[in-house]
Amino acid sequence: MDTNGRLRINTPKIVHETIDGETVILNLDNGNYYSLEGAGAQIWGFIERGAPVHDIIEKVKCDYESNGTDVAGAVNKFVSELRQEGLAVPVTADTNAGFQWPAEKRAPGVNGKKQSFTPPTLNKYSDMQDLLLLDPIHDVDEEAGWPTNKPDPADN
């Protein structure tokens, strides 16, 4: 992957929520859902903000104590998995300029020390596919929202 490139969350196919540092992702097209472990939630947040992959790698290296772990390799592997699952997609080159890191605190540590790096992990679950694919959210207009059904093309 081009580490100078950026990714974006593949909306509207993908919805996600981060609560208390845990991120849950739902693919509305196939009914799979995912959870992130390790540095995954932080990396997902950086992707959501539009950070280039190279900058994400450098930020993670800065925020965590690597303890000999190949941070760049772990982040690149994680980003590749997000792309393979269709959760994140490349951003066109014309939108790559001007990213600025927001003022924020370092990743949580203990007594002022950096937190130990735990490689990001993408956990995939398909046990609720049938139920999630039956959900009426698939049949609504993005602008009108739910529960207003999309017009049937056969009615036109």
Report pLDDT digits (tens) over 74-130: 999 999 999 999 999 998 765 545 566 666 555 555 566 888 999 999 999 988 777
Domain count, the chain: 1
The neighbouring-strand residues paired with 89 are 8
Structure letter (DSSP) for residue 65: E
Report pLDDT digits (tens) over 122-146: 999 988 777 766 655 555 555 655 4
Strand ranges inside 5-114, DSSP E: 7-9, 14-19, 22-27, 33-37, 64-65, 88-90
User: What's the Cα-to-Cα distance from 83 to each of 9, 44, 73, rounded to whole Å?
Assistant: 10, 12, 15
Cβ neighbours, 10 Å, residue 99: 13
Question: Is residue 131 a part of any domain in this protein?
Answer: no
Token pair for 104: 């924020």
- Residue 46 pLDDT class (50, 70, 90 cuts): very high
The whole domain housing 65 covers 7-95+106-126
Question: Is residue 84 a part of any domain in this protein?
Answer: yes
**Helical axes 40-49 vs 71-84, angle rounded to 10°:** 70
Pairing between strand 14-19 and 22-27? antiparallel
Question: Is residue 50 a part of any domain in this protein?
Answer: yes
* pTM for the model: 0.76
Question: Is residue 73 a part of any domain in this protein?
Answer: yes
Question: Is residue 65 a part of any domain in this protein?
Answer: yes
For residue 42, what is the domain's CATH number?
Answer: 3.90.930
pLDDT over 70 at 31, yes or no: yes
61/10 Cα distance (integer angstroms):
26
Structure letter (DSSP) for residue 87: S
Question: Is residue 17 a part of any domain in this protein?
Answer: yes
Question: Is residue 88 a part of any domain in this protein?
Answer: yes
Question: Is residue 148 a part of any domain in this protein?
Answer: no
